[in-house]
């Protein structure tokens, strides 16, 4: 009895002493369990991207629920078979190891899992003093935490070779799997790495198959594996490899890192598919000097970026650039906004006719992409074929509703209207692909530019650019685009989902665009070269268009792409679609109308009227008794773009083209440098040689309307 009482007293004394020391020297868990790698997750929870922790270590923490039972069983078997039966230290193993180490040259360890956790939490040099501290810390762990919690700590702290910490990290880097997806053989291999992390790491081990078979045999003999599990594990083959850290959408991920978010709306399936399509297209165009590509996909309902390909290939020439945010010339991609506003103002209907002929603006003579003019053309066809002249003319008529003011409202203009001039209608402005694609979402959102979320960053715009009716009609005009204009691409795209899409090509074919819109998504694609060099005479229609249409085909298979619903306020009426609307009409059509279709006299330019007279579309006598006659007869003739220019030449004489176009009459009268007026055919190009100096050209029409142009020429 006395012995028992002494034993109890001794135990109480030891426990009291432990409590005193536990209070005096509290257990320090340190930062190793909390200093995780920063991880960016995709929409479905997959890892999108990640970064090293502050110590240069890859570490993904596993919670207890994530750790499969089989992992726990295997770790305990290989590391500490009596883990569940001791209080932190297996003294029998300690004594056995001490005796062995005293009598043998090779040393063996006897550290329990709890002791290993204590050592990993606070690494110290090996000594008897530090071993005692380690044992004390092991008791502390057992006192304060459950067995499951300590085992979880071990699996999160254990080194797995190189700069890998934790079994969840190892599972990702060695097998590309979550813990619950591991096979029994994979679990066995992971469980023994911490015994000797550098020797046992799976990308370096000499005979991985031999090691695997040895481990699963032991697990089978211990009845941890069933026979069928053992046989399946035996058949598994392994290679020495370590995977790279996930690095999808790196530029998108950097935005997420910057904004401090971990879960994003990026759809990894969409991301991978879009990258694949871009790489395939660049490979096809490799002989055409196209080295780079970028794309961005927006969910129109949620207004979130769900795919972000800053560069189709980081290893390509200049591939580290961000093609989604870099500023580039947008080509013809903004023309739909001009037509939408013209529809809204009643200047056109989809089937109304426009005139595509040479127009002259001061210092500017626009031409079409194909360097010719088609004459009379319906508005929807002018937009479909991206004709420059009708777009430029409509934009100039819109005045304060023009493209410049639409973009200004969206905060997308950097300079004043004069800086951009008339060329803004044809792509004389630079935007990022992100801003351009965001702008196109208005066609799916009733003409409203809504806030856009991208990796935790908000583009906080909420303005109405167009009416729902004009946005819809423009969408319809481009959704019904006959795809045979896409040349060779048409063969592969004619049966693709019907979406609104617009192509665009900047000067010298440097930037190749296509923007596609469905009810659910808006996709912007750019192809070109990050260094600004030319492509080999390509267009957006025979390059980027194929990527857009193929991507929408992919989206359609996942979820059929719905058409945008027709809003109220659009009426189908019989309207006059003549290029010039007179008292009588030659072309009545059933067409969609938003507001009363009308054209004032100032809708027409002298060059257009002359073209119609010249080609028999309009008779001069037909309009002499109309209200427009007085206005037309007082319009000054139009000189070509020589006014205000300064020509430099290394020749003594400079030969220039002079052209003067009047509304009425078969002839005009031209005076050069105040010489006598000479009669010339109306609208005809004439050539004249000028000496060095300042020159004046005057032109009179039959109603004595005078136009004057001045220019100078200097020798170099």
How large a percentage of the chain has pLDDT more than 70? 93
Long-range contacts of 198-202 (CB under 8 A, 24+ apart): 198/161, 198/162, 200/161, 201/160, 201/161, 201/162, 201/164, 201/242, 202/161, 202/174, 202/238, 202/240, 202/241, 202/242
User: DSSP states of 145-175 as a string?
Assistant: S-HHHHHHHHHHH-B-STTEESHHHHHHHHH
Question: In this predicted structure, what is the pLDDT of residue 341?
Answer: 97
- Bridge partner residues of 517 (DSSP): 500, 522
Find, among 660, 631, 656, 636, the residue nearest to 646 by Cα: 656
pLDDT exceeds 80 at position 105:
no
For the chain, how far is it from start to end, CA to CA, in angstroms?
A: 122
Q: Residue 264, SS3?
A: coil
Find, among 649, 663, 661, the residue nearest to 693 by Cα: 649
Grade residue 396 by pLDDT with cuts at 50, 70 and 90: very high
What is the bridge-based pairing of β-strands 706-715 and 646-649?
Answer: parallel
| Tokens (6 digits) for 473 | 């009609």
pLDDT exceeds 80 at position 24:
no
Torsion, Cα 394 397 398 404, to 10 degrees, reads 80
Grade residue 97 by pLDDT with cuts at 50, 70 and 90: low
Instruction: Give the rounded distance of the alpha carbon of 348 from its chain centre.
Output: 34
Task: Enumerate helices (H) and strands (E) in the chain, giving the number of each.
Answer: 24, 27
pLDDT exceeds 90 at position 715:
no
**Mean pLDDT comparison of 400-414, 474-488, 639-653, highest-scoring range:** 400-414
User: Cβ(642)–Cβ(709) under 8 Å?
Assistant: yes
H-run or E-run covering 395: helix 388-398
Which residue would you say has higher pLDDT here, 386 or 669?
669
Question: In this predicted structure, what is the pLDDT of residue 139?
Answer: 83
Mean pLDDT over 206-223 rounds to: 90
CA–CA–CA angle 552, 554, 558 (5° rounding): 110
Question: In this predicted structure, what is the pLDDT of residue 315?
Answer: 86
- C-alpha distance from residue 518 to each of 149, 318, 500, 503, 521 (Å): 51, 32, 7, 15, 5
Question: In this predicted structure, what is the pLDDT of residue 366?
Answer: 79
- C-alpha distance from residue 82 to each of 86, 110, 118, 477 (Å): 7, 12, 17, 76
How large a percentage of the chain has pLDDT more than 90? 60
Buried b (16+ CB within 10 A) or exposed e, 351-386: bbbbbbbbbbbeeeebebbeeebbebbbbbbbbbbb
Q: Residue 473, SS3?
A: helix
Segment among 269-283, 367-381, 509-523 with least mean pLDDT: 367-381
| Tokens (6 digits) for 214 | 């040895």
Span 297-316, pLDDT tens digits: 999 999 999 999 999 988 88
Question: In this predicted structure, what is the pLDDT of residue 489?
Answer: 47
Find, among 162, 230, 182, the residue nearest to 66 by Cα: 182
H-run or E-run covering 646: strand 646-649
Question: In this predicted structure, what is the pLDDT of residue 129?
Answer: 78
User: DSSP states of 211-223 as a string?
Assistant: HHHHHHHHHHHTT
Span 126-136, pLDDT tens digits: 777 777 888 88
DSSP state, 137?
H
Question: In this predicted structure, what is the pLDDT of residue 33?
Answer: 85
Grade residue 484 by pLDDT with cuts at 50, 70 and 90: low
| Tokens (6 digits) for 233 | 């594990």
Distance in angstroms (rounded) separating the CA atoms of residues 305 and 267:
9
Distance in angstroms (rounded) separating the CA atoms of residues 532 and 539:
15
Instruction: Identify the residue whose tokens are 């053992």.
Output: 230
CA–CA–CA angle 205, 210, 215 (5° rounding): 95
User: Cβ(443)–Cβ(517) under 8 Å?
Assistant: yes
Distance in angstroms (rounded) separating the CA atoms of residues 515 and 533:
22
- The Cβ-side half-sphere exposure at 134, using a 13 Å CA radius, reads 25
User: Cβ(357)–Cβ(607) under 8 Å?
Assistant: yes
pTM, rounded to two decimals: 0.87
Grade residue 115 by pLDDT with cuts at 50, 70 and 90: confident
User: Cβ(598)–Cβ(576) under 8 Å?
Assistant: no
pLDDT exceeds 50 at position 172:
yes
User: Cβ(163)–Cβ(57) under 8 Å?
Assistant: yes
- C-alpha distance from residue 580 to each of 314, 618, 633 (Å): 54, 8, 16
Which residue would you say has higher pLDDT here, 540 or 341?
341
DSSP state, 115?
H
What is the bridge-based pairing of β-strands 375-378 and 500-505?
Answer: unpaired
User: DSSP states of 10-55 as a string?
Assistant: HHHHHHHHHHHHHHHS-----STTT-PPEEEE-TTS-EEEEE--TT
pLDDT exceeds 70 at position 104:
no
Grade residue 370 by pLDDT with cuts at 50, 70 and 90: confident
Span 425-472, pLDDT tens digits: 988 899 999 999 999 999 999 999 999 999 999 998 899 999 999 999
DSSP state, 256?
H
Distance in angstroms (rounded) separating the CA atoms of residues 376 and 578:
9
pLDDT exceeds 50 at position 572:
yes
pLDDT exceeds 50 at position 637:
yes
Give the number of residues written for the chain. 716
What is the bridge-based pairing of β-strands 667-672 and 500-505?
Answer: unpaired
| Tokens (6 digits) for 291 | 């080295």
Find, among 601, 8, 69, 230, the residue nearest to 16 by Cα: 8
Mean pLDDT over 478-499 rounds to: 64
Query: What radius of gyration, in Å, describes the C-alpha atoms of the chain?
Result: 38
Question: In this predicted structure, what is the pLDDT of residue 103?
Answer: 57
CA–CA–CA angle 51, 57, 60 (5° rounding): 70
């Amino acid at each position: 009895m006395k012995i028992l009482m002494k034993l109890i007293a001794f135990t109480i004394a030891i426990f009291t002493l432990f409590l005193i020391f536990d209070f005096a020297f509290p257990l320090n868990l340190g930062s190793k369990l909390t200093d995780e790698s920063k991880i960016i997750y995709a929409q479905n929870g997959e890892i999108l991207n990640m970064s090293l922790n502050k110590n240069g270590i890859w570490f993904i923490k596993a919670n207890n629920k994530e750790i499969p039972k089989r992992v726990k069983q295997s770790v305990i078997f290989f590391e500490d078979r009596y883990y569940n039966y001791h209080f932190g230290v297996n003294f029998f193993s300690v004594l056995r190891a001490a005796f062995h180490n005293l009598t043998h040259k090779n040393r063996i360890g006897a550290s329990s899992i709890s002791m290993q956790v204590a050592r990993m939490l606070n690494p110290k040099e090996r000594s008897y003093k530090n071993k005692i501290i380690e044992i004390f810390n092991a008791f502390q762990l057992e006192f304060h935490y459950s067995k499951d919690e300590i085992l979880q700590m071990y699996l999160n702290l254990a080194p797995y070779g190189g700069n890998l910490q934790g079994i969840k990290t190892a599972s990702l880097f060695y097998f590309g799997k979550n813990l619950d997806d591991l096979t029994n053989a994979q679990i066995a291999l992971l469980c023994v790495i911490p015994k000797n992390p550098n020797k046992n790491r799976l990308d370096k081990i000499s005979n991985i198959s031999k090691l695997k078979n040895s481990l699963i045999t032991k697990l089978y003999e211990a009845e941890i594996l069933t026979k069928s599990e053992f046989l399946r594990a035996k058949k598994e083959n392994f290679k020495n490899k370590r995977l790279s850290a996930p690095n999808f959408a790196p530029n998108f991920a950097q935005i997420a890192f910057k904004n401090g978010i971990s879960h994003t709306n990026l759809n990894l399936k969409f991301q991978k598919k879009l990258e694949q399509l871009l790489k395939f297209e660049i490979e096809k165009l490799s002989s055409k000097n196209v080295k780079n590509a970028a794309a961005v996909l927006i969910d129109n309902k949620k207004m979130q970026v769900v795919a972000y390909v800053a560069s189709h290939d980081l290893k390509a020439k200049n591939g580290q650039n961000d093609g989604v945010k870099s500023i580039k010339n947008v080509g013809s991609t903004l023309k739909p906004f001009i037509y939408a506003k013209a529809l809204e103002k009643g200047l056109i209907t989809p089937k109304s006719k426009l005139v595509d002929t040479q127009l002259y603006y001061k210092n500017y003579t626009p031409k079409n992409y194909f360097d010719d003019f088609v004459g009379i053309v319906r508005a929807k066809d002018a937009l479909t074929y991206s004709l420059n002249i009708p777009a430029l003319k409509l934009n100039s008529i819109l005045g304060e509703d023009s493209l410049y003011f639409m973009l200004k409202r969206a905060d997308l203009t950097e300079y004043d209207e004069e800086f951009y001039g008339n060329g803004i209608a044809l792509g004389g402005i630079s935007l990022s692909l992100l801003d351009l694609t965001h702008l196109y979402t208005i066609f799916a959102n009733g003409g409203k530019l809504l806030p856009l979320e991208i990796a935790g960053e908000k583009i906080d715009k909420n303005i109405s650019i167009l009416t729902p009716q004009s946005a819809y009609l423009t969408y319809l005009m481009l959704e019904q685009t006959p795809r045979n204009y896409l040349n060779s691409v048409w063969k592969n795209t004619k049966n693709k989902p019907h979406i609104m899409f617009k192509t665009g090509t900047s000067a010298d074919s440097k930037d190749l665009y296509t923007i596609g819109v469905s009810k659910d998504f808006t996709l912007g694609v750019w192809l070109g070269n990050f260094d600004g060099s030319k492509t080999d005479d390509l267009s957006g229609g025979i390059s980027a268009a194929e990527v857009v249409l193929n991507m929408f085909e992919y989206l359609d298979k996942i979820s059929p792409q719905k058409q945008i619903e027709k809003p109220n306020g659009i009426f189908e009426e019989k309207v006059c679609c003549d290029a010039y609307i007179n008292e009588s009409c030659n072309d009545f059509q059933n067409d969609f109308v938003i507001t009363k279709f009308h054209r004032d006299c100032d809708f027409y330019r002298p060059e257009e009227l002359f073209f119609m007279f010249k080609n028999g579309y309009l008779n001069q006598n037909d309009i002499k008794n109309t209200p427009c006659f007085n206005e037309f007869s007082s319009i000054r003739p139009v000189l070509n773009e020589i006014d205000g220019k300064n020509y430099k030449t290394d020749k003594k004489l400079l030969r220039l083209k002079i052209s003067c176009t009047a509304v009425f009459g078969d002839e005009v009268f031209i005076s050069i440098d105040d010489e006598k007026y000479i009669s010339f055919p109306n609208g005809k190009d004439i050539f004249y040689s000028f000496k060095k100096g300042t020159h004046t050209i005057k032109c009179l029409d039959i109603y004595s309307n005078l136009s004057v142009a001045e220019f100078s020429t200097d020798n170099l």
